[in-house]
Structure 1
Amino acid sequence: MAHKLPAAILLAVLLALAAGDPDTLQDVCVADYHSLKGPLRLNGFPCKRHENVTANDFISVLLAKPGNTGNAVGSAVTAANVERLPGLNTLGVSMARIDFAPWGVNPPHTHPRATEIIFVLQGSLDVGFVTTANRLFARTVCRGEVFVFPRGLVHYQRNNGGTPAAVISAFNSQLPGTQAVAQTLFGASPAAPTDVLARAFQIDAGLVEAIKSKFPPM
Protein backbone atom coordinates (compact mmCIF):
# COMPACT_ATOMS: atom_id res chain seq x y z
CA MET A 1 0.00 0.00 0.00
CA ALA A 2 2.83 2.37 0.90
CA HIS A 3 4.37 2.19 -2.57
CA LYS A 4 1.08 3.36 -4.10
CA LEU A 5 1.05 6.63 -2.15
CA PRO A 6 3.82 8.43 -4.11
CA ALA A 7 2.10 7.48 -7.37
CA ALA A 8 -1.20 8.87 -6.09
CA ILE A 9 0.48 12.11 -5.02
CA LEU A 10 2.18 12.41 -8.41
CA LEU A 11 -1.15 11.87 -10.18
CA ALA A 12 -2.80 14.57 -8.06
CA VAL A 13 0.00 17.03 -8.85
CA LEU A 14 -0.22 16.30 -12.57
CA LEU A 15 -3.98 16.79 -12.56
CA ALA A 16 -3.58 20.10 -10.75
CA LEU A 17 -1.00 21.27 -13.28
CA ALA A 18 -3.25 20.30 -16.17
CA ALA A 19 -6.27 22.16 -14.82
CA GLY A 20 -7.26 25.68 -15.81
CA ASP A 21 -8.96 27.91 -13.27
CA PRO A 22 -9.91 26.08 -10.05
CA ASP A 23 -13.39 24.60 -9.80
CA THR A 24 -16.04 26.64 -8.01
CA LEU A 25 -17.51 25.33 -4.76
CA GLN A 26 -20.81 27.21 -5.08
CA ASP A 27 -23.39 28.07 -7.72
CA VAL A 28 -22.20 31.64 -8.28
CA CYS A 29 -19.53 33.91 -6.85
CA VAL A 30 -20.12 37.31 -8.44
CA ALA A 31 -17.01 39.46 -8.17
CA ASP A 32 -17.15 42.12 -5.48
CA TYR A 33 -15.04 44.88 -7.04
CA HIS A 34 -15.42 47.05 -3.95
CA SER A 35 -13.25 44.58 -2.05
CA LEU A 36 -10.23 45.86 -3.99
CA LYS A 37 -10.34 49.04 -1.93
CA GLY A 38 -9.36 47.07 1.15
CA PRO A 39 -6.06 45.44 2.14
CA LEU A 40 -7.12 41.89 1.21
CA ARG A 41 -5.88 40.43 -2.08
CA LEU A 42 -6.99 37.07 -3.48
CA ASN A 43 -6.28 34.96 -6.56
CA GLY A 44 -9.49 36.24 -8.12
CA PHE A 45 -12.20 38.29 -6.45
CA PRO A 46 -14.16 37.79 -3.23
CA CYS A 47 -17.86 37.05 -3.71
CA LYS A 48 -20.67 39.53 -3.39
CA ARG A 49 -23.18 38.71 -0.70
CA HIS A 50 -25.85 36.56 -2.32
CA GLU A 51 -28.63 39.03 -1.58
CA ASN A 52 -26.74 41.72 -3.53
CA VAL A 53 -26.42 39.65 -6.71
CA THR A 54 -28.69 40.55 -9.64
CA ALA A 55 -29.18 39.37 -13.22
CA ASN A 56 -27.23 42.42 -14.37
CA ASP A 57 -24.07 40.83 -12.97
CA PHE A 58 -24.28 38.18 -15.70
CA ILE A 59 -24.96 40.28 -18.81
CA SER A 60 -22.80 42.57 -20.93
CA VAL A 61 -22.88 44.42 -24.25
CA LEU A 62 -19.09 44.73 -24.38
CA LEU A 63 -18.78 42.68 -27.57
CA ALA A 64 -21.74 44.19 -29.40
CA LYS A 65 -19.81 46.93 -31.22
CA PRO A 66 -16.56 46.92 -33.22
CA GLY A 67 -13.47 48.24 -31.47
CA ASN A 68 -11.41 51.18 -32.71
CA THR A 69 -8.81 49.84 -35.15
CA GLY A 70 -7.26 53.24 -35.88
CA ASN A 71 -3.87 52.40 -34.38
CA ALA A 72 -0.40 51.33 -35.51
CA VAL A 73 -1.27 47.64 -35.82
CA GLY A 74 -4.79 48.02 -37.19
CA SER A 75 -6.60 45.86 -34.64
CA ALA A 76 -8.59 46.22 -31.44
CA VAL A 77 -9.23 43.65 -28.71
CA THR A 78 -12.33 44.08 -26.54
CA ALA A 79 -12.26 41.75 -23.54
CA ALA A 80 -15.22 40.33 -21.66
CA ASN A 81 -13.39 38.87 -18.68
CA VAL A 82 -13.91 38.87 -14.93
CA GLU A 83 -12.54 42.39 -14.61
CA ARG A 84 -15.44 43.67 -16.73
CA LEU A 85 -18.18 41.07 -16.22
CA PRO A 86 -18.44 40.19 -12.51
CA GLY A 87 -20.63 37.12 -13.02
CA LEU A 88 -17.65 35.30 -14.57
CA ASN A 89 -15.85 35.11 -11.24
CA THR A 90 -14.78 31.49 -10.45
CA LEU A 91 -16.46 30.12 -13.62
CA GLY A 92 -13.23 29.65 -15.58
CA VAL A 93 -14.38 31.15 -18.90
CA SER A 94 -14.19 34.48 -20.73
CA MET A 95 -14.50 35.92 -24.22
CA ALA A 96 -13.14 38.70 -26.38
CA ARG A 97 -13.87 40.39 -29.68
CA ILE A 98 -11.01 41.22 -32.04
CA ASP A 99 -11.63 43.69 -34.86
CA PHE A 100 -9.23 44.21 -37.75
CA ALA A 101 -8.83 47.08 -40.17
CA PRO A 102 -7.93 46.04 -43.73
CA TRP A 103 -4.56 44.25 -43.51
CA GLY A 104 -4.56 44.79 -39.73
CA VAL A 105 -2.56 42.54 -37.40
CA ASN A 106 -3.01 41.21 -33.88
CA PRO A 107 0.75 40.97 -33.21
CA PRO A 108 2.46 37.88 -31.78
CA HIS A 109 1.39 37.34 -28.17
CA THR A 110 0.62 34.65 -25.61
CA HIS A 111 -2.11 33.89 -23.08
CA PRO A 112 -0.28 32.33 -20.12
CA ARG A 113 -3.41 31.10 -18.37
CA ALA A 114 -5.68 29.85 -21.17
CA THR A 115 -6.20 28.09 -24.46
CA GLU A 116 -7.97 30.30 -27.01
CA ILE A 117 -10.45 29.35 -29.73
CA ILE A 118 -11.58 31.92 -32.29
CA PHE A 119 -14.71 32.02 -34.43
CA VAL A 120 -14.51 34.21 -37.55
CA LEU A 121 -17.44 36.63 -37.73
CA GLN A 122 -16.41 38.31 -40.96
CA GLY A 123 -13.48 38.49 -43.33
CA SER A 124 -10.54 36.18 -43.83
CA LEU A 125 -7.44 35.93 -41.66
CA ASP A 126 -4.01 34.32 -41.71
CA VAL A 127 -3.43 32.81 -38.26
CA GLY A 128 -0.77 30.69 -36.65
CA PHE A 129 1.02 29.57 -33.50
CA VAL A 130 4.56 28.39 -32.79
CA THR A 131 5.28 25.38 -30.58
CA THR A 132 8.15 25.02 -28.13
CA ALA A 133 9.90 23.01 -30.87
CA ASN A 134 9.75 26.17 -33.05
CA ARG A 135 7.27 24.59 -35.45
CA LEU A 136 4.75 26.97 -37.00
CA PHE A 137 1.17 25.81 -37.48
CA ALA A 138 -0.53 28.31 -39.79
CA ARG A 139 -3.76 28.44 -41.78
CA THR A 140 -6.11 30.85 -43.47
CA VAL A 141 -9.49 30.95 -41.73
CA CYS A 142 -12.68 32.39 -43.19
CA ARG A 143 -16.13 33.39 -41.98
CA GLY A 144 -17.78 30.64 -39.94
CA GLU A 145 -14.55 28.74 -39.26
CA VAL A 146 -12.78 28.20 -35.93
CA PHE A 147 -9.11 27.86 -34.99
CA VAL A 148 -7.48 26.87 -31.69
CA PHE A 149 -4.37 28.39 -30.09
CA PRO A 150 -2.96 26.16 -27.33
CA ARG A 151 -2.34 27.68 -23.93
CA GLY A 152 0.84 29.70 -23.52
CA LEU A 153 2.09 29.42 -27.12
CA VAL A 154 3.02 32.49 -29.17
CA HIS A 155 0.38 33.17 -31.83
CA TYR A 156 -0.91 35.87 -34.17
CA GLN A 157 -3.78 36.84 -36.47
CA ARG A 158 -3.63 38.97 -39.62
CA ASN A 159 -6.44 40.28 -41.79
CA ASN A 160 -5.42 39.20 -45.29
CA GLY A 161 -7.96 41.33 -47.14
CA GLY A 162 -8.86 44.89 -48.00
CA THR A 163 -12.07 44.90 -45.95
CA PRO A 164 -12.60 44.80 -42.16
CA ALA A 165 -12.54 41.47 -40.34
CA ALA A 166 -13.65 40.34 -36.89
CA VAL A 167 -13.47 37.28 -34.66
CA ILE A 168 -14.91 36.19 -31.33
CA SER A 169 -12.45 34.51 -28.97
CA ALA A 170 -13.27 32.15 -26.12
CA PHE A 171 -10.91 31.20 -23.27
CA ASN A 172 -10.93 28.56 -20.55
CA SER A 173 -10.00 31.14 -17.93
CA GLN A 174 -11.87 34.04 -16.39
CA LEU A 175 -8.70 36.13 -16.84
CA PRO A 176 -6.40 34.57 -19.47
CA GLY A 177 -3.80 37.33 -19.45
CA THR A 178 -2.00 38.62 -22.54
CA GLN A 179 1.70 39.17 -23.18
CA ALA A 180 2.44 40.90 -26.47
CA VAL A 181 5.93 39.75 -27.44
CA ALA A 182 7.26 43.06 -28.76
CA GLN A 183 5.68 45.19 -26.03
CA THR A 184 6.87 42.80 -23.32
CA LEU A 185 10.49 42.79 -24.48
CA PHE A 186 10.93 46.36 -25.68
CA GLY A 187 8.41 48.20 -23.50
CA ALA A 188 9.03 46.64 -20.09
CA SER A 189 9.23 48.85 -17.01
CA PRO A 190 11.95 49.00 -15.79
CA ALA A 191 13.45 48.49 -19.24
CA ALA A 192 14.98 45.16 -20.20
CA PRO A 193 18.78 45.49 -20.56
CA THR A 194 19.73 46.66 -24.03
CA ASP A 195 22.75 44.36 -24.23
CA VAL A 196 20.59 41.33 -23.43
CA LEU A 197 18.14 42.16 -26.21
CA ALA A 198 20.97 42.98 -28.62
CA ARG A 199 22.52 39.56 -28.08
CA ALA A 200 19.19 37.75 -28.16
CA PHE A 201 18.18 39.28 -31.50
CA GLN A 202 21.76 39.54 -32.81
CA ILE A 203 21.43 43.24 -33.60
CA ASP A 204 23.38 46.26 -32.40
CA ALA A 205 22.46 48.23 -29.29
CA GLY A 206 21.50 51.31 -31.28
CA LEU A 207 18.81 49.39 -33.12
CA VAL A 208 17.50 48.00 -29.82
CA GLU A 209 17.16 51.54 -28.48
CA ALA A 210 15.40 52.62 -31.67
CA ILE A 211 12.90 49.78 -31.29
CA LYS A 212 12.40 50.58 -27.59
CA SER A 213 11.44 54.13 -28.54
CA LYS A 214 8.43 52.73 -30.39
CA PHE A 215 7.19 50.86 -27.30
CA PRO A 216 6.87 53.27 -24.37
CA PRO A 217 6.11 51.51 -21.06
CA MET A 218 2.37 51.03 -20.59
Structure 2
Amino acid sequence: MMNSRIIITIGFSYIISSIRAYDPDALQDLCVADKSHGTKLNGFPCKETSNITSSDLFVAGISKPAKNNGKSPASVLSAFNSQLPGTVSVAAMLFAAEPALPEDVLTKTFQLGSKMVDKIKDMLATKKSFK
Protein backbone atom coordinates (compact mmCIF):
# COMPACT_ATOMS: atom_id res chain seq x y z
CA MET A 1 0.00 0.00 0.00
CA MET A 2 2.84 2.37 0.86
CA ASN A 3 4.63 1.57 -2.42
CA SER A 4 1.53 2.41 -4.46
CA ARG A 5 1.22 5.79 -2.70
CA ILE A 6 4.83 6.59 -3.51
CA ILE A 7 4.34 5.60 -7.15
CA ILE A 8 1.14 7.68 -7.37
CA THR A 9 2.87 10.68 -5.75
CA ILE A 10 5.83 10.43 -8.14
CA GLY A 11 3.42 10.07 -11.09
CA PHE A 12 1.40 13.15 -10.08
CA SER A 13 4.53 15.22 -9.52
CA TYR A 14 5.80 14.23 -12.96
CA ILE A 15 2.46 15.16 -14.59
CA ILE A 16 2.28 18.49 -12.75
CA SER A 17 5.87 19.41 -13.66
CA SER A 18 5.31 18.56 -17.34
CA ILE A 19 2.14 20.67 -17.45
CA ARG A 20 4.05 23.73 -16.24
CA ALA A 21 6.92 23.15 -18.71
CA TYR A 22 5.58 25.10 -21.69
CA ASP A 23 6.74 28.11 -23.62
CA PRO A 24 4.63 31.08 -22.51
CA ASP A 25 5.87 33.35 -25.29
CA ALA A 26 6.35 31.80 -28.72
CA LEU A 27 8.00 34.97 -30.03
CA GLN A 28 10.96 34.76 -27.69
CA ASP A 29 12.72 32.47 -30.19
CA LEU A 30 12.93 35.25 -32.80
CA CYS A 31 16.41 35.62 -34.28
CA VAL A 32 17.39 38.23 -36.87
CA ALA A 33 20.95 37.92 -38.17
CA ASP A 34 23.29 40.68 -37.09
CA LYS A 35 25.44 41.06 -40.21
CA SER A 36 27.45 43.95 -38.76
CA HIS A 37 28.85 41.73 -36.01
CA GLY A 38 32.35 40.50 -36.84
CA THR A 39 32.24 37.06 -35.22
CA LYS A 40 30.79 34.22 -37.30
CA LEU A 41 31.05 30.68 -35.96
CA ASN A 42 27.94 28.93 -37.24
CA GLY A 43 26.35 31.78 -39.14
CA PHE A 44 25.62 35.28 -37.92
CA PRO A 45 24.78 36.03 -34.27
CA CYS A 46 21.29 37.30 -33.41
CA LYS A 47 20.44 40.97 -33.01
CA GLU A 48 19.12 42.17 -29.70
CA THR A 49 15.32 42.14 -29.79
CA SER A 50 15.26 45.85 -28.91
CA ASN A 51 17.24 46.61 -32.11
CA ILE A 52 14.96 44.70 -34.52
CA THR A 53 13.02 46.96 -36.90
CA SER A 54 10.25 46.25 -39.39
CA SER A 55 12.74 46.48 -42.27
CA ASP A 56 14.52 43.42 -40.83
CA LEU A 57 11.37 41.33 -41.26
CA PHE A 58 10.39 42.28 -44.83
CA VAL A 59 10.57 39.45 -47.36
CA ALA A 60 12.22 40.95 -50.44
CA GLY A 61 11.04 38.17 -52.77
CA ILE A 62 7.41 39.25 -52.51
CA SER A 63 7.99 42.48 -54.44
CA LYS A 64 9.79 40.85 -57.39
CA PRO A 65 7.35 39.33 -59.87
CA ALA A 66 8.75 37.00 -62.52
CA LYS A 67 7.16 38.89 -65.41
CA ASN A 68 5.63 42.34 -65.19
CA ASN A 69 5.64 44.45 -68.34
CA GLY A 70 3.65 47.34 -66.92
CA LYS A 71 4.56 50.10 -64.51
CA SER A 72 1.95 49.10 -61.93
CA PRO A 73 2.44 46.18 -59.51
CA ALA A 74 1.62 42.71 -60.85
CA SER A 75 -1.58 41.08 -59.63
CA VAL A 76 -3.42 37.81 -60.01
CA LEU A 77 -7.18 37.46 -60.23
CA SER A 78 -8.84 34.08 -59.80
CA ALA A 79 -12.52 33.46 -60.32
CA PHE A 80 -14.90 30.52 -60.40
CA ASN A 81 -17.35 29.68 -63.15
CA SER A 82 -20.92 30.44 -62.04
CA GLN A 83 -22.26 27.32 -63.77
CA LEU A 84 -19.81 24.95 -62.06
CA PRO A 85 -18.65 26.65 -58.85
CA GLY A 86 -15.14 25.64 -57.89
CA THR A 87 -14.03 24.48 -61.33
CA VAL A 88 -12.05 26.49 -63.82
CA SER A 89 -10.11 25.08 -66.75
CA VAL A 90 -6.63 26.47 -66.23
CA ALA A 91 -5.48 25.43 -69.69
CA ALA A 92 -8.35 27.23 -71.42
CA MET A 93 -7.92 30.33 -69.27
CA LEU A 94 -4.20 30.63 -70.01
CA PHE A 95 -3.58 29.20 -73.46
CA ALA A 96 -6.81 30.40 -75.11
CA ALA A 97 -7.12 33.75 -73.34
CA GLU A 98 -8.48 36.81 -75.13
CA PRO A 99 -6.28 38.90 -75.42
CA ALA A 100 -3.59 36.25 -75.63
CA LEU A 101 -0.88 35.99 -73.01
CA PRO A 102 2.64 36.63 -74.32
CA GLU A 103 4.25 33.40 -75.48
CA ASP A 104 7.40 33.93 -73.42
CA VAL A 105 5.28 34.03 -70.25
CA LEU A 106 3.73 30.65 -71.07
CA THR A 107 7.07 29.07 -72.02
CA LYS A 108 8.71 30.24 -68.78
CA THR A 109 5.74 29.35 -66.58
CA PHE A 110 5.18 25.83 -67.87
CA GLN A 111 8.80 25.22 -68.95
CA LEU A 112 7.71 24.32 -72.48
CA GLY A 113 9.16 25.10 -75.85
CA SER A 114 7.41 27.61 -78.10
CA LYS A 115 6.38 24.82 -80.50
CA MET A 116 4.59 22.98 -77.68
CA VAL A 117 2.86 26.20 -76.58
CA ASP A 118 1.63 26.77 -80.15
CA LYS A 119 0.42 23.16 -80.33
CA ILE A 120 -1.57 23.52 -77.09
CA LYS A 121 -3.02 26.84 -78.29
CA ASP A 122 -4.11 25.20 -81.56
CA MET A 123 -5.74 22.27 -79.73
CA LEU A 124 -7.67 24.60 -77.43
CA ALA A 125 -8.64 27.00 -80.24
CA THR A 126 -10.54 24.21 -82.04
CA LYS A 127 -12.49 23.34 -78.87
CA LYS A 128 -13.06 26.96 -77.91
CA SER A 129 -16.70 27.98 -77.74
CA PHE A 130 -16.55 30.82 -75.21
CA LYS A 131 -18.32 33.43 -77.34
**Which structure is larger by alpha-carbon Rg, 1 or 2?**
2
* Structure that is richer in strand per residue: 1
TM-score normalised to structure 1 length: 0.20
TM-score normalised to structure 2 length: 0.31
